[in-house]
Every structure is written in C-alpha cells, then in structure tokens.
Homo-oligomer: A and B are copies of this chain.
Amino acid sequence: MADRTLGLDVRARSGPGILHELTGVIARHRGDIASVEIVERTPESSRVYFEIESVLDADALVAEMRGTASVATIAVVETFQRVYGKRIIIMGGGAQVGQVAIGAISEADRHNIRGEHISVDTIPLVGEQPLAEAVRAVTRLPRAKALVLAGSLMGGEIEAAVRAVRAEGLLVVSLNMAGSVPDAADLVVSDPVQAGVMTVMAVADTARFTVDRLKRRVF
C-alpha cells in the first residue's frame, strides 16, 4: 500500500488544534499529505478529508487515528485525483462562459471516456477587481491546469493577474475580445466552443495538442 495514495475521511471534534493533532498522527507514520480539505464544520464536529502518500503502514496510521480522543469515525475512501482529476476553470460573462463550457464539457467527455479525468469549473463574474482576484486565486485551486477568460472586454488589473498566473505555470486561454487580456494570454480563440475544446485538448494526456508547438497563437 506504500505506493498508493491513501484517501481518509475523518469525523472529529471541532475547534482549534484538531487539525494539528490529526496531522501529528500522519507525521508520526511518515505520511506525506498530498491534499487536505475541511469538508464540513459545525460548532461540535468537523469532517476532514486527507490524501496521504508514502505511508509506511496505512493500517497502523488508520488505527492510531481511530484511537485519538477527538476522532469519532474514520473511513478509507477514493481520492479526488482519481474521481475528479484535472480542472479547467472558465470565468467571465454568463453568455460567453456558458458557450465555452459547452465546448469544454463535450470535449472532456470524449477524453474521460478514454480514461482521462478532467472536470470543467466555471464562475460567472463581473467587474475588473473581482475578476482579477478570481484569476489570481486560480493558482491556489487544487488540480487547476488551465484558465479560460470568456468575456467581451477585459484589461487592466485582469491583464496583470493573467501575467502573474502564467508566470506560475498556468495555461491561460482568452476569447478574442476588447481590452489587453488577449495580448497577455497563451492562446486567443474567437469561437467560444472552440476555445473550450482547445483548452481541454491542451491539458488532456489523451490528446495530441501542445500549445507550445502551435505556429500561431490567435484562432
């Protein structure tokens, strides 16, 4: 079990220090936490989900955690990486985001049938400041691989945010629109459905499509 990621769904008491206690158990078993989420939180109890790698003895870890006073229940579960996989994020105006989503979802379906795991997440949002914040936050989203900016006019702070997340390695696709965002993107696509399809192709291991190899950047 050492080379397999261990998914754990833990119900425990709520309050300061609980996560510190649970991660202490994991550290003692030399587990490397790949992912952690606090799924539920009420004043009395909370539910925490862990994905743990390189555990020496998973059964011993689970047994010790079960014996911890603050832990109510613990279950071994499938990992998110296996269930939801890579994420494409689409943000901007409702009309355009919806059309990009149509393309991305149809294309993700074709790849997921062949064994990929790609999900398509969207957020309709208006305004330079909220959009710039949402763009910057994408690099903090787990499993996010590419961002599509879908609108009619985006520039200023949003352009700066696009350059910042590209510098961190995120692929950014922009619709052909007014403003300076298309100049800052990796790829500019005029048709929103095509933009969604191309973005999924760019992140799918089951597709032969590499943005770096394209001879042009605007479609």
Query: Could you list which residues of chain A lie within 8 angstroms of chain B, going by C-beta atoms?
Result: 9, 14-17, 19-20, 23-24, 26-27, 30-41, 47, 49, 54, 77-78, 80, 83-84, 93-95, 97-99, 101-102, 105-106, 108-110, 112-113, 118-126, 130, 133-134, 136-137, 139-142
Q: Which residues of B contact A78 (CB under 8 A)?
A: 133, 137
Kindly report how many copies of this chain are found in the complex they form together: 2
Residue contact B9 to A33, C-beta cutoff 8 Å: no
The CA-CA distance from A110 to B93 in the complex, in Å, is: 10
Closest B residue to A97 by beta carbon equals B105
Q: How far is the CB of A134 from chain B (nearest CB, A)?
A: 5
The CA-CA distance from A47 to B169 in the complex, in Å, is: 14
Given contacts A23-B19, A84-B134, A142-B37, contact A122 B101 (CB under 8 A): yes
Residue contact A120 to B119, C-beta cutoff 8 Å: no
Closest B residue to A25 by beta carbon equals B20
Q: Which residues of B contact A16 (CB under 8 A)?
A: 26-27, 30-33, 54
Residue contact B98 to A126, C-beta cutoff 8 Å: no
Q: How far is the CB of A55 from chain B (nearest CB, A)?
A: 9
Given contacts A78-B137, A105-B97, A121-B122, contact A33 B49 (CB under 8 A): no
Q: How far is the CB of A93 from chain B (nearest CB, A)?
A: 7
